[in-house]
Amino acid sequence: MEIKEMLLQVQRGTITVEEAEAELKDLPFKDLGYAKLDYHRKLRSGFPETVFCQGKPDEYLGRIFKELYERNGEVMGTRASAEQYQLVKELLPEAVYDPISHIIKAQREAKKLEGCVAVLTGGTADVPVAEEAAQTAEFFGCYVERIYDVGVAGIHRLLSQRERFQKANCVVAVAGMEGALGTVAAGLVENPVIAVPTSVGYGASFHGLSALLTMLNSCANGISVVNIDNGYGAGYLATQINRLALK
Amino acid sequence: MEIKEMLLQVQRGTITVEEAEAELKDLPFKDLGYAKLDYHRKLRSGFPETVFCQGKPDEYLGRIFKELYERNGEVMGTRASAEQYQLVKELLPEAVYDPISHIIKAQREAKKLEGCVAVLTGGTADVPVAEEAAQTAEFFGCYVERIYDVGVAGIHRLLSQRERFQKANCVVAVAGMEGALGTVAAGLVENPVIAVPTSVGYGASFHGLSALLTMLNSCANGISVVNIDNGYGAGYLATQINRLALK
Amino acid sequence: MEIKEMLLQVQRGTITVEEAEAELKDLPFKDLGYAKLDYHRKLRSGFPETVFCQGKPDEYLGRIFKELYERNGEVMGTRASAEQYQLVKELLPEAVYDPISHIIKAQREAKKLEGCVAVLTGGTADVPVAEEAAQTAEFFGCYVERIYDVGVAGIHRLLSQRERFQKANCVVAVAGMEGALGTVAAGLVENPVIAVPTSVGYGASFHGLSALLTMLNSCANGISVVNIDNGYGAGYLATQINRLALK
Amino acid sequence: MEIKEMLLQVQRGTITVEEAEAELKDLPFKDLGYAKLDYHRKLRSGFPETVFCQGKPDEYLGRIFKELYERNGEVMGTRASAEQYQLVKELLPEAVYDPISHIIKAQREAKKLEGCVAVLTGGTADVPVAEEAAQTAEFFGCYVERIYDVGVAGIHRLLSQRERFQKANCVVAVAGMEGALGTVAAGLVENPVIAVPTSVGYGASFHGLSALLTMLNSCANGISVVNIDNGYGAGYLATQINRLALK
Amino acid sequence: MEIKEMLLQVQRGTITVEEAEAELKDLPFKDLGYAKLDYHRKLRSGFPETVFCQGKPDEYLGRIFKELYERNGEVMGTRASAEQYQLVKELLPEAVYDPISHIIKAQREAKKLEGCVAVLTGGTADVPVAEEAAQTAEFFGCYVERIYDVGVAGIHRLLSQRERFQKANCVVAVAGMEGALGTVAAGLVENPVIAVPTSVGYGASFHGLSALLTMLNSCANGISVVNIDNGYGAGYLATQINRLALK
Amino acid sequence: MEIKEMLLQVQRGTITVEEAEAELKDLPFKDLGYAKLDYHRKLRSGFPETVFCQGKPDEYLGRIFKELYERNGEVMGTRASAEQYQLVKELLPEAVYDPISHIIKAQREAKKLEGCVAVLTGGTADVPVAEEAAQTAEFFGCYVERIYDVGVAGIHRLLSQRERFQKANCVVAVAGMEGALGTVAAGLVENPVIAVPTSVGYGASFHGLSALLTMLNSCANGISVVNIDNGYGAGYLATQINRLALK
Amino acid sequence: MEIKEMLLQVQRGTITVEEAEAELKDLPFKDLGYAKLDYHRKLRSGFPETVFCQGKPDEYLGRIFKELYERNGEVMGTRASAEQYQLVKELLPEAVYDPISHIIKAQREAKKLEGCVAVLTGGTADVPVAEEAAQTAEFFGCYVERIYDVGVAGIHRLLSQRERFQKANCVVAVAGMEGALGTVAAGLVENPVIAVPTSVGYGASFHGLSALLTMLNSCANGISVVNIDNGYGAGYLATQINRLALK
Amino acid sequence: MEIKEMLLQVQRGTITVEEAEAELKDLPFKDLGYAKLDYHRKLRSGFPETVFCQGKPDEYLGRIFKELYERNGEVMGTRASAEQYQLVKELLPEAVYDPISHIIKAQREAKKLEGCVAVLTGGTADVPVAEEAAQTAEFFGCYVERIYDVGVAGIHRLLSQRERFQKANCVVAVAGMEGALGTVAAGLVENPVIAVPTSVGYGASFHGLSALLTMLNSCANGISVVNIDNGYGAGYLATQINRLALK
């Protein structure tokens, strides 16, 4: 349809061949050489591009943040070290850093938080991953309910908080070790549960593999899984679901 | 709140101690001895209980279907063999069977299909898992768009169908072997993608492990994963998301 | 001490050198060539030797059962096929077979069942392993409380049965798929929980590996694990614990 | 029954609706926000809550120890570094630290040690895990018999100590590398053996996986397994068994 | 040296260029197209070529046996099915078959059995692999001492047979499940122990992986490992060691 | 460029808007519903689409072969069973079947075989995979040199054939078990080696995993790896390389 | 043939026996004791020997570089640390170092870059491995086209660069995480694709295993795989293919 | 027999009851509490006890060396760090240290080196493990032939050294990465080959797992495997074989 419209305009002469060609060939990203910043992403998906900081060379990092901030009026980066924050801050003084979630962010104006996403953790050691999820969802405009240290070994702790997460449009269940939190939570709610295995544990937890397998094999319904320690992915997906519910 | 209300009624004498006790102790399932059928599930989650047929002893299977059908007016079972269908049909003549998806179902009245869930497959061999997802979503009331054999080795096939799945409230991406379909799809849509690895493949596919890892490590956003070959789980979750969007 | 006593008797001449030598060298087993039956086991451990039938050559099986029955007045075999039972029955007509647990047994006189062992399962498909555990414990003299299909995806089913297993000296928790039953149960009881992973499941359950890892990584206390599908081992261990409690 | 009693009292007016509601809703834990301390645990299970120190943020650690000590009159933490001990000691001067087992503990009054738990190790390098088990059992009131460096490659060392561990109510067998100690020990005793694989080894020991698999596949009876290096879990479970034997 | 001698003869004219070229190029095997039979192997290694029957196409099998028998006066094949034996027997009536070890062999004249190789098994189910090892060693001229069902869960059975295997030049220890037999045996003897893991077991034995890891991680000295179920490899290696001791 | 040309023609009116739209939207595949046949593939890559028969439903198979044969004048399918061949033959009488390689093919006219691809195997059992590679390369027009049963345990067999594979433009090295053939071959040639691990082996070969890892870790240069048993992939790739050399 | 010629010359007396013997026995490498430098490699394969620096003892490193440079007039080393470079530079002042690719090289004269190899990366973090491949290919004389950060989660970035890599004789696709770049690229080109999995990622990427499996299971044709992070191997192989195309 | 002799002497009165009891109960080890030094080991096996230094607490290490040296007149320790050597040297000034093999040893008098053990490595990086094997064999009295850097990617290097290792009573083949050296060597010799996988490599070598699997799956005969990096085990076993050949 769009193509037809353009072709008709070419035929009519309302746009030139060169304009049409440019449009058809236009690159929806900015090429920095070492990186291709995706400016159309916000239009396409409703989410601006986010920076995965871990492993990014120092010389590129600051510039990527700055470019994205200037274009989008906001920028968020995950898995950032305190050293990386210092580098970013030099170029982008608006940036702030949270040492628990390892998130750097800058936002020209505060967003209104809407709907509801609940974030649960099995233990205290899962909190950093949970905060990555929670702050991601908040950055994208979700209201977040945090319910931490409600692992299934003491099931009364989870049950006592039931009302708080049953009302959420999406529940993010973050747990390491044996990772059963997602299954029990999914049995108690009506809406989707996103399970995030964490690398918390030792021995046969194999850096999160045990929790991952537990979650994939959940005998509950309405549960899906993201990568080990992937709080960002869970927060992003929870936002998509929350937005659908708000529409 | 509910507890308070009940206690107030006990105090007021509008319900007896025995009634309140029964209510507080009432078991939200029917105990057949070998199985505990969850009748409150439909109230709690909006979904009736489904039967996972694989491995269920023959003597129990028919009765479970019958009990659920009588209670809920509809029943669905997954991973059923043709032999199991014969057993069920004897007790429940309304039951029908689809040999591709291995689903048995019976429904007193047809549901209106609403919203939109898109189901994609990488290849032809992934169709049985995709059909399990699609028919599950349809059983629960979703309109389903099927887009099969659009694996990423011939990317033009996927791109040419873009419009059909971009409008869906949720995309289910079913793929075996290298399993990259989910990532590419998630890069093209605004709404959640549920990736279903299949055990299709050979050699180093390790019965779906390769596709599973690919999907967990997806560098796209808005994607989560269910167990290998778990079409039912994907269809269920897609329904939850579709319902949220319809509310 | 015993050695000293014997040596003193040799010195005194109350026993001969040959007698002492025989005593010191006596083999506490009967050598059938292809197998060495352990007759002292009952004295040493309080448990007669049990037959692991799977993989035993047909020509040996009947004779092993017969020898043990004659010596001990009772015999039990696990993982027996219906064909193996026919072979055993020809030599040992007292033998009976249970097709659910795959146990063959013969007992000259019924035992009194004492104490309490609770056996829980996550689902219906875990029942064969649970029955192997339950019947093993009964064969060794334990009273067994069976509580089946109480998986954690519908936590109310487990909670409603709490009183029945909280009084047991030992809880055996049998579960496949995500295997979280052991953790939740251990959080509710005072006594040891033996977790038995089962090979029930598909995909990333990897034939019980997922449930095994879940159970090893349990964040609950008072829980230990036996091999996948090892109902016999759990029943044996539960009996040891039950006996300690009864002493 | 308890519920009935409470409801009767509400009816009779001997307790108010508000009191009953509070009782029914009362949380059996103290919520510090980042952690939910389980005060009812001692009543429920006979064991006070223990602190798993590894990975706990510094700012929380001291307060958790202090809260638990004040409530329970005793507190124990495992996997603590020397640095963590310094933090705890500032708030809780009664705390002492053992650098071999990495245990911090404080106890208002010494417990009487009763019954018998034997702790065996395969080699000298397994001693830290063994000490975690031994000191845990002692903290919970068990008499412990330590028998170290009795690996099966020199079987005479184990056999020579037989009398010392055959009398125990429970044997804890701690071993890395090929991990066969548990099997041989279980063949020599009447009571339960808890096998603890350790991460001691190199190459194909895969950080304890080899010992773990050995122990899970033990052809001996009366043996179960806890997570790699989980001395605490073994000590806890041994205590449960020892207490059952003492009752 | 040999090369020099040949060159000198070429120079002297005692052999022609063509003869020398043929000698230098001569293939030390017979090329059947689908297989290259290694006739020089007996000269090079002292062992004739053996046939690994499993997976060999029917049309080739008989001819390979016949060719080798005619050349070497003896032939042995391992992992042969009863059906394969029928095929071989048609072309080579001298062939005999043992259904336990799955070995087909034909020998023009009986060998004198010398030295001593001891073959131990953990259980009765390990006997087929043990027989492959024992009969291989016998085929190559070793005297074999068989000591079966002496697994370490009943250590007295192994200790009582100590004298029989301590005198051997080489001990082959065959065991599945937890596979600890090799370690204990190696601690009792002066000569090399070859450990053969078997696929006997279930659950977390992972088809022999557990026993394999146990044996590789053995804390005993003088032990090495061959592939899972590789009785032939162990018998061959034991023969090499036995021959060295006899020289 | 092509786009510009088309737009210019639209402007000039030499093609209509509808024609241009059709061209830009035209699907380069034929949609059978259950499969999307890729007709442009031959133009795009120089190779017609091939049918992976394993797992294809019977009702589709014949039609897919027929469609492709009619379009391309030739068709090849891999991993076909004898039963599948019967189905195909009914619709496409020109089809022939090779039971060793499991390839079905039909070609209107014979191709000239050019260049040189050498296919090596470690043993006789690797021949089926090698034939899949060899016949694939021949189907696509390569001259193939077959050199079978030259495994590295008898290195003289490989060395004696050196001249035959050193002249090839590409060497395909097919081996199971320990899979070292690729490394040794790559050390002897100047051109690329494609290593194909096979699932031939037992025990710790883990269905080809051992050979796969060997090949990936090869210390030789100029070697790359395809999936376990993927003879087709190796033959295809060898053809690409052979064609480049012929250009 | 060569052997025949030499023998004829011996016969004719044009070379002496000693000369012929020397030739036949001559070692095509220089033995430094700790290393055997392969001087004939350049003649045999057209490539000089390269130094894998990682793990090489400091005392040897400089001398190996120097020897090779003097012999070949050029030398390249991979996986070198900055410290190793300092050591090399002392002995070989011509050496230069690139900190991104970790390559040390020295070349007496610049090579003409011919043909075309395209190197693609999924993300920015894959650039170091890509540069190892690109600079290796350039060292061996290939013209290299670099196309970075074109991962499949934003497929338009890859498609927009299509023309640049479709003309290459060989495409090297470097990607971590889910590693799908190779498959999509192979579907777009006519020539071979070499896929290089990288260890970039976290969680279930298992240090590159996920990307490796993805690439091995690729449903595209014309793709093969090298070891994780093996940029050098890919660059070497790409050069072989590029040279074949140029011949 | 020995027991009988002793009993006869007790009967005769030539030894007292107390002497006999002591003899029968005497512990063939010295108990240091944290370690049990095995003094009878040299008598039993012909080898004195060796110290595995890695992970031994500092306070014990020196004393263990001193005790063993005083008792046996020689002592060897493996996997020692330079720091550990300093600790040992303070108590035992005779100790010397080799930083390549990480061996500490002290010997009152030099041994005569007899027989022949050949030690081969695939590359330079395997030398430390090879030296552990070689120096172990030398410590126990073997003559050792070292042949390093003869990996199979340049097969001529290995073939040119053939004569040097074909005469050995035992060949130790040390290799990492793809680990094929053992197979090729075993195809060239008559005597046993002990394969030692090393953790040398990267990516899919998985810290030696690849080399280990290669060696276990070797298609050569007369080869067995020890743990990854276990040079000591190989040297010990080679000594046993060498001694048998010398007897």
Average pLDDT over residues D147-168: 89
Neighbours of chain F (3+ CB pairs under 8 A): A, B, E, G, H
* pLDDT for residue E26: 45
* H198 CB within 8 Å of a chain F CB: no
Average pLDDT over residues B8-23: 73
Is residue B184 packed enough to be buried (19+ CB in 10 Å), middle (13-18) or exposed (0-12)? buried
Rounded to a whole number of angstroms, the CA Rg of chain B reads 21
* B231 CB within 8 Å of a chain A CB: no
Average pLDDT over residues B96-117: 93
Separation of alpha carbons G169 and D35, rounded Å: 60
Cross-chain residue pair F122–H219, CB shorter than 8 Å: yes
* pLDDT for residue F13: 80
Separation of alpha carbons A155 and A173, rounded Å: 14
Chain H positions in Cβ-Cβ contact with residue F122 (cut-off 8 Å) = 219
Alpha carbon D221 to chain centroid, angstroms: 23
Rounded to a whole number of angstroms, the CA Rg of chain F reads 21
Average pLDDT over residues A134-145: 97
Structure confidence at residue C26 as a pLDDT band (50, 70, 90): very low
Chain E positions in Cβ-Cβ contact with residue H247 (cut-off 8 Å) = 245
Contacts of B93 (CB under 8 A, 6+ apart): none
Q: Do chains D and F touch (3 or more CB pairs under 8 A)?
A: no
Structure confidence at residue F14 as a pLDDT band (50, 70, 90): confident
Contacts of E128 (CB under 8 A, 6+ apart): E100, E101, E102, E231
Partners of B146 in beta bridges? B119
* pLDDT for residue C29: 58
What is the maximum span of chain C, computed from C-alpha positions, in angstroms? Answer: 73
* F1 CB within 8 Å of a chain A CB: no
Nearest-Cα residue of chain G relative to residue A210: G204
Separation of alpha carbons F71 and G74, rounded Å: 53
- Tokens standing for residue A104: 């750097």
Look at residue F38 and tell me whether its pLDDT is greater than 70: no
B154 vs H103: which has the higher pLDDT: H103
Alpha carbon H57 to chain centroid, angstroms: 22
Look at residue B77 and tell me whether its pLDDT is greater than 90: yes
Separation of alpha carbons G158 and A234, rounded Å: 26
- Beta-carbon pairs below 8 A across chains C and E: 48
Residues 148-187 of G with CB under 8 A from B: 151-155, 159, 177-180, 183-184, 186-187
* pLDDT for residue C11: 78
Residue F72: CB atoms within 10 Å: 17
Residue B203: CB atoms within 10 Å: 24
Cross-chain residue pair E151–D178, CB shorter than 8 Å: no
E strand or H helix at D130: helix D127-139
Among A212, B96, G62, which Cα is nearest to C214's? A212
Q: How far is CA G95 from CA G37, G90, G92, in A?
A: 19, 9, 6
Average pLDDT over residues H223-240: 97
- Separation in Å, CA of H215 to nearest CA in chain F: 7
SS3 per residue for E124-193: HHHHHHHHHHHHHHHHCCEEEEEECCCCHHHHHHHHHCHHHHHCCCEEEEEECCCCCHHHHHHCCCCCCE
- Beta-carbon pairs below 8 A across chains C and D: 91
Structure confidence at residue D27 as a pLDDT band (50, 70, 90): very low
pLDDT tens digits for range G196-205: 999 999 999 9
- Beta-carbon pairs below 8 A across chains F and G: 91
pLDDT tens digits for range D56-90: 878 788 888 998 898 888 999 999 999 999 999 99
Is residue H14 packed enough to be buried (19+ CB in 10 Å), middle (13-18) or exposed (0-12)? exposed
User: What DSSP state is assigned to residue A16?
Assistant: -
Neighbours of chain B (3+ CB pairs under 8 A): A, C, D, F, G
Look at residue A26 and tell me whether its pLDDT is greater than 70: no
Q: Where in chain C is the domain with CATH 3.40.50.1970?
A: 114-246
- Tokens standing for residue H75: 């002592």
Structure confidence at residue D35 as a pLDDT band (50, 70, 90): low
* pLDDT for residue C67: 87
Partners of F121 in beta bridges? F174
Look at residue G230 and tell me whether its pLDDT is greater than 90: yes
pLDDT tens digits for range H48-93: 889 999 878 787 889 889 988 988 889 999 999 999 999 999 999 9
Q: How far is CA H48 from CA D149, D155, G51, H78, in A?
A: 17, 17, 42, 14
Structure confidence at residue F241 as a pLDDT band (50, 70, 90): very high
Structure confidence at residue C27 as a pLDDT band (50, 70, 90): very low
Pair F217, H204: CB distance under 8 Å: yes
Look at residue H22 and tell me whether its pLDDT is greater than 80: no
Among H127, H230, H224, H228, which Cα is nearest to H185's? H224
Pair E241, D174: CB distance under 8 Å: no
Cross-chain residue pair E10–G10, CB shorter than 8 Å: yes
Average pLDDT over residues F163-187: 94
* G192 CB within 8 Å of a chain F CB: yes
First to last CA, chain G: 25
Look at residue F28 and tell me whether its pLDDT is greater than 50: yes
Residues 9-38 of C with CB under 8 A from H: 10-11, 13, 17, 20-21, 24-25
Which residue of F124, F149, F155 to mutate against H (max H Cβ within 10 Å)?
F155
Q: Spell out where C32-189 has E strands.
A: 36-37, 51-52, 74-78, 96-98, 103-107, 114-121, 142-147, 170-175
* B208 CB within 8 Å of a chain C CB: yes
Structure confidence at residue A110 as a pLDDT band (50, 70, 90): confident
Among F96, F147, F94, F154, which Cα is nearest to F124's? F147
Task: Please name the member of G122, G187, G206 whose beta carbon is closest to the beta carbon of B152.
Answer: G187
Task: Please name the member of G11, G24, G25 whose beta carbon is closest to the beta carbon of E10.
Answer: G11
pLDDT tens digits for range G97-151: 999 999 999 998 888 999 999 999 998 889 999 999 999 999 999 999 999 999 9
Look at residue G27 and tell me whether its pLDDT is greater than 50: no
Contacts of A18 (CB under 8 A, 6+ apart): none
Separation of alpha carbons C3 and H65, rounded Å: 35
Handedness of CA C220, C222, C227, C228 (dihedral sign): negative
* pLDDT for residue H27: 46
Cross-chain residue pair H228–D204, CB shorter than 8 Å: yes
- Separation in Å, CA of B140 to nearest CA in chain C: 20
Separation of alpha carbons F111 and G32, rounded Å: 53
Structure confidence at residue G71 as a pLDDT band (50, 70, 90): confident
Q: Within 13 A of D198's CA, how many CA atoms are on the CB side? A: 28
Chain H positions in Cβ-Cβ contact with residue C10 (cut-off 8 Å) = 7, 10-11
Q: Does domain B114-246 have CATH number 3.30.70.270?
A: no
Q: How far is CA B225 from CA A213, A237, B79, B240, G202, in A?
A: 12, 12, 20, 15, 16
Residue that has been written with the tokens 């039967």 in this structure: B51
Q: Which amino acid is at C22?
A: A
Q: Give the ranges where A13-154 is alpha helix by DSSP (H).
A: 17-25, 41-45, 58-72, 82-91, 127-139
* pLDDT for residue G26: 44
- Tokens standing for residue D92: 């809780």
Residue that has been written with the tokens 């509490």 in this structure: H33
Cross-chain residue pair F204–H188, CB shorter than 8 Å: no
Nearest-Cα residue of chain F relative to residue E60: F124
Separation of alpha carbons F131 and F119, rounded Å: 8
* G217 CB within 8 Å of a chain A CB: no
- Separation in Å, CA of A178 to nearest CA in chain F: 28
Q: Dihedral of the CA atoms D187, D190, D195, D200 (nearest 10)?
A: -50
Query: What SS3 class is residue C78?
Result: strand
Which residues of chain E fall short of a pLDDT of 50?
1, 25-27
Burial H180-206 (b: 16+ CB within 10 A, else e): bbbbbbbbbbbbbbbbbbbbbbbbbbb
